[in-house]
């Protein structure tokens, strides 16, 4: 019980199996890692990054937290992004959410879980920002699914707006930021069709991704929302950006 022997046994079997197929595998990895991808995903045990995309150790640099949230004051996440972009020079950052996310469900159901509610408040902000679109969805499951998608789109936008990514693009570094979502029910990934490769593409990609989700309302980008809308939300007189 105290040693968790079954996990060590499983580890030994895994190591032997890999070494049998590729005797130099671990020696090679011990020398250097050169992943092309940074994966930012949910901590949910059902969403294991490497297994989902079928890649070996060494191919994904991974950061996971509850509900795959990217906060601009989170030094843990920012350090991972900075190391991945500036030291490892990854070519792609993938933000991968998933349907039936416990964090999203807790927010949608106003469920209180303790300390983590502070972290989930970032999702409450997204829910509030897109309240019109979400409230228009009758089916509770579909509403949760939509917030899972809107969260991915928002977090891609947050990654793009970090100084790390903006600086990388400014110096001409080849870097793309992608938004994906994983379906627990069939193990398949879905591309949210938000792929950003420059600062100039950012707003257009964000708005297009939002538009591609169900509904037709034009939603303000987060930074505009924060400046123009959030503080005056109580007045409920939000002006939407006119369609172009
Ligand atoms: Zn989750």
Q: Quick: pLDDT tens for 97-147.
A: 999 999 999 999 999 999 999 999 999 999 999 999 999 999 999 999 999
Per-residue pLDDT at 205 exceeds 70: yes
Whether 98 is a known active-site residue: answer yes
Yes or no: say if 40 and 70 are a contact pair by the CB < 8 Å rule.
yes
Would you state the pLDDT for residue 167?
Answer: 98
Cα separation, 146 vs 140, whole angstroms: 10
Once rounded to an integer, what is the mean pLDDT over residues 150-168?
98
- Cα 96 to middle of ligand 1, angstroms: 10
Q: For residue 147, which of 100, 194, 111, 180 has the smallest C-alpha distance? A: 100
- Cα 18 to middle of ligand 1, angstroms: 30
| 10-51 tens-digit pLDDT | 999 999 999 999 999 999 999 888 999 999 999 999 999 999
More confident of the two residues 52 and 237: 52
Would you state the pLDDT for residue 214?
Answer: 65
User: If pLDDT is split at 50, 70 and 90, which confidence band does 2 have?
Assistant: confident
Give the bridge partners for 98, in sequence order: 182
Would you state the pLDDT for residue 213?
Answer: 86
The boundaries of the domain holding residue 93 are 32-216
Cα separation, 25 vs 27, whole angstroms: 6
- Cα 149 to middle of ligand 1, angstroms: 12
> Domain for residue 159, yes or no?
yes
> Domain for residue 244, yes or no?
no
The angle subtended at Cα 52 by Cα 84 and Cα 4, nearest 5°, is 90
> Domain for residue 180, yes or no?
yes
Q: For residue 135, which of 16, 227, 236 has the smallest C-alpha distance? A: 236
Using CA atoms in the order 188, 99, 191, 81, what is the torsion angle rounded to 10 degrees? -110
> Domain for residue 85, yes or no?
yes
Yes or no: say if 86 and 62 are a contact pair by the CB < 8 Å rule.
no
> Domain for residue 221, yes or no?
no
Would you state the pLDDT for residue 227?
Answer: 40
Lowest mean pLDDT among 60-64, 194-198, 206-210, 239-243: 239-243
- Cα 27 to middle of ligand 1, angstroms: 34
| Catalytic site residue from 42, 77, 96, 144 | 42
| 14-24 tens-digit pLDDT | 999 999 999 99
> Domain for residue 20, yes or no?
no
| Catalytic site residue from 77, 101, 148, 160 | 101
Task: Identify the CATH number of the domain in which residue 120 sits.
Answer: 3.40.1050.10
Whether 42 is a known active-site residue: answer yes
Share the mean pLDDT of the chain: 88
116-129 and 140-160 helices, crossing angle to 10°: 100
In the chain, pLDDT over 90 holds for what percent of residues?
82
Whether 44 is a known active-site residue: answer yes
> Domain for residue 2, yes or no?
no
| Catalytic site residue from 46, 72, 131, 188 | 46
Yes or no: say if 102 and 44 are a contact pair by the CB < 8 Å rule.
yes
What is the largest distance, in Å, between two alpha-carbon atoms of the chain? 66
User: If pLDDT is split at 50, 70 and 90, which confidence band does 220 have?
Assistant: very low
Number of domains the chain is built from? 1
| Catalytic site residue from 77, 96, 98, 143 | 98
Cα separation, 146 vs 167, whole angstroms: 31
């Amino acid at each position: 019980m105290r040693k968790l022997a079954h996990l060590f046994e499983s580890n030994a079997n895994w190591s032997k199996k890999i070494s049998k197929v590729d005797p130099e595998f671990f020696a090679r990895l011990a020398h250097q890692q050169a992943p092309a991808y940074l994966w930012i995903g949910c901590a949910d045990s059902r969403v294991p990054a490497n297994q989902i995309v079928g890649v070996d150790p060494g191919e994904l640099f991974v950061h996971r937290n509850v509900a795959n949230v990217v906060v601009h004051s989170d030094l843990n996440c920012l350090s991972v992004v900075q190391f991945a972009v500036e030291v490892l020079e990854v070519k792609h950052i993938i933000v991968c959410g998933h349907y039936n996310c416990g964090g999203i469900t807790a927010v949608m159901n106003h469920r209180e879980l303790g300390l983590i509610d502070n972290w989930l408040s970032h999702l409450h902000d997204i829910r509030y920002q897109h309240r019109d679109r979400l409230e228009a969805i009758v089916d509770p499951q579909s509403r949760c699914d939509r917030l899972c998608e809107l969260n991915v789109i928002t977090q891609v936008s947050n990654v793009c707006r970090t100084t790390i990514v903006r600086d990388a693009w400014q110096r001409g570094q080849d870097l793309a930021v992608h938004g994906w979502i994983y379906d627990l029910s069939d193990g398949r990934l879905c591309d949210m069709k938000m792929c950003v490769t420059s600062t100039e593409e950012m707003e257009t990609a964000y708005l297009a991704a939002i538009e591609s989700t169900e509904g037709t309302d034009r939603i303000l980008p987060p930074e505009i929302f924060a400046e123009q809308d959030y503080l005056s939300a109580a007045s409920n007189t939000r002006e939407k950006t006119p369609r172009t």
